[in-house]
Structure 1
Amino acid sequence: MLRRVLLASVGAVALAGTAMAADLPSRAAPPVYVPPAPIFTWTGVYIGGQIGYGWGTSNTTVGDALGGYTSFSTNNNGVIGGAHVGYNLQLNQFVVGLEGSVDGSSMSKSASGGYYIPAVDASFPVTVSGNMNIQGSIRGRVGYAWDRVLVYATGGVAFAGVNGSVQTPFGYTSTSTTRVGYTVGGGIEYAVTNNWSIRAEYRYSQFGTSNMYATNFYMDPVLSTIGAYGRRTINQNQVQVGFSYKFDMAPPPAPVVAKY
């Protein structure tokens, strides 16, 4: 009988201890709060660089005061590389923006030929040289985004520093001018992270017409009336790859601390 009473007492004490332990507050550490990753957007100011290859055609006309005339079509090509800065605004899946770019260029070409002057019944040699050492653009951009992939069209004003020379038996002259034209194209851009992106782009540019005039160096009474001129129209294609860094426009929201 005593043995049964003791066993019953031990069981009651064990049950009471278990119930009290269940009522005690937990001493386990709360779970660590992990803030959600920020939502990606194309909106923001960005800067970057680009490098590529350009090719084009310079259509040159050379003539003189006595009716001599000839024309050339030369193919120019070279490396193009520089920097860009811009701003994008994303509206749902549409992205609009403005971008400016400046590129150095190694595009250059020389061409030689001859032209016939009816007044003196003779042909004379002529050499035309030119290079484009710097170019740039201010363009609008309109695109459609699939999350981190952006396909866009671009177009705007283009400018270029054009150096040229024309040489004939009657004289030589050189000129350096800034030509203004237009540029249009498109590309694709991919955001590797929320700040860094890479791109590939094609553009066609037309820089208008530049003129050059050669001074007559001959003292002959007949040849002294002869003056040569050159007129060039410059077209260019370019493909470039590049990268951009987008600045965060506002600090991320403060993390929410969970309460337990």
Structure 2
Amino acid sequence: MNRIIAGIMAAASVMAASPAFAETFDGPYVGVQAGLNHDRARGADTDIGEVNVRDSRDSFIGGAFAGYNYRLTPHVVIGAEGSFDIGAADALRSGAAVIDPNHSFDLSARAGYLVTPETLLYVRGGYENMRARISDGTATGHDTFDGWSVGGGVERAILQNVTARIEYRYSDLGNNDHDFDRHHALVGVAYHF
């Protein structure tokens, strides 16, 4: 976790020194993101029954996002965003039991404050869905994990219509008294139309 914090601080220092060219926090945008993911599972109630995975794993995650910002006041921005992500080497295992995430997507609302015309501090919250291959040691299948996510970050205009951002996101995908937590530390670049 210390490496995640150090990476976020390094990215923030680069963003703080970047010049801004235009106000871009109003309207549609698309982008790409990548970063570190930390999953922790303590069992799961799935379509094939109880999967007794008690493991945690750090992995790489990457994907794409799209959204829409609306400038509510000169300093307040609200919006909606959806993203799709895929992880690498992120299977959780305990003996023969496995939860191996295939992909995830989320839909969330964002609210932010423009501390300068080029820098947006924001929070987010919404719905997350993860599809995974599962096995209890005898049966194998696929299941969907639904949950909620919250997070926040900073986004800064670095070129005309281009922003860079760093973000932390927490997701709870647990069910029926089982814990399944995800932590994302992401950097991203977006093009604003």
TM over 0.5: same fold? Answer: yes
Q: 1:82 to 1:72 in 2, by over 3 A?
A: closer
State whether structure 2 residue 25 is matched by structure 1 residue 42.
yes
CA offset digits 1:8-43 (Å, max 9, x no partner): xxxxxxxxxxxxxxxxxxxxxxxxxxxxxx962410
Q: Name 2:107's counterpart in structure 1.
A: 138
Report the TM-score, using the length of structure 2 for normalisation.
0.79
- The whole-number CA distance in structure 1 between the counterparts of 2:134 and 2:24 is 46
1:183 partner letter: S
State whether structure 2 residue 188 is matched by structure 1 residue 242.
yes
Unaligned runs of 5+ in 1: 1-37, 63-70, 113-126, 211-230, 248-260
Q: Do 2:78 and 2:110's aligned partners in 1 also have CA atoms closer than 8 Å?
A: yes
Q: 1:41 to 1:130 in 2, by over 3 A?
A: closer
2:87 partner letter: S
CA offset digits 1:201-243 (Å, max 9, x no partner): 0000111338xxxxxxxxxxxxxxxxxxxx9642110101010
- The whole-number CA distance in structure 2 between the counterparts of 1:236 and 1:164 is 17
Q: 1:92 is paired with a residue of what secondary structure?
A: coil
Once the two structures are TM-superposed, the CA of residue 164 in structure 1 deviates from its matched residue by 1.1
RMSD: 2.4
Q: Do 1:78 and 1:108's aligned partners in 2 also have CA atoms closer than 8 Å?
A: no
Q: 1:59 to 1:164 in 2, by over 3 A?
A: same
Q: Percent identity?
A: 29
State whether structure 2 residue 33 is matched by structure 1 residue 54.
no
Once the two structures are TM-superposed, the CA of residue 61 in structure 1 deviates from its matched residue by 6.8
- The whole-number CA distance in structure 2 between the counterparts of 1:48 and 1:134 is 17
- The whole-number CA distance in structure 2 between the counterparts of 1:178 and 1:87 is 27
Q: 1:93 to 1:176 in 2, by over 3 A?
A: same
2:78 partner letter: V
Q: Do 2:53 and 2:98's aligned partners in 1 also have CA atoms closer than 8 Å?
A: no
Q: Which protein has the bigger strand share?
A: 2
Q: 1:209 is paired with a residue of what secondary structure?
A: coil
Q: Do 1:187 and 1:199's aligned partners in 2 also have CA atoms closer than 8 Å?
A: yes
Within a 5 Å distance, the mapping from 1:249-260 to structure 2 comes to none
- The whole-number CA distance in structure 1 between the counterparts of 2:22 and 2:183 is 37
Q: 1:88 to 1:158 in 2, by over 3 A?
A: same
Q: Do 1:83 and 1:101's aligned partners in 2 also have CA atoms closer than 8 Å?
A: yes
Q: 1:61 to 1:245 in 2, by over 3 A?
A: closer
Aligned partner (choices 57, 68, 76) of residue 76 of structure 1 = 57
Q: 1:182 to 1:237 in 2, by over 3 A?
A: same
Q: How many residues align?
A: 166
Q: 1:233 to 1:42 in 2, by over 3 A?
A: same
Q: Tell which has more relative contact order, 1 or 2 (C-alpha 8 A, sep 6+).
A: 2
- The whole-number CA distance in structure 1 between the counterparts of 2:133 and 2:174 is 14
- The whole-number CA distance in structure 2 between the counterparts of 1:72 and 1:245 is 40
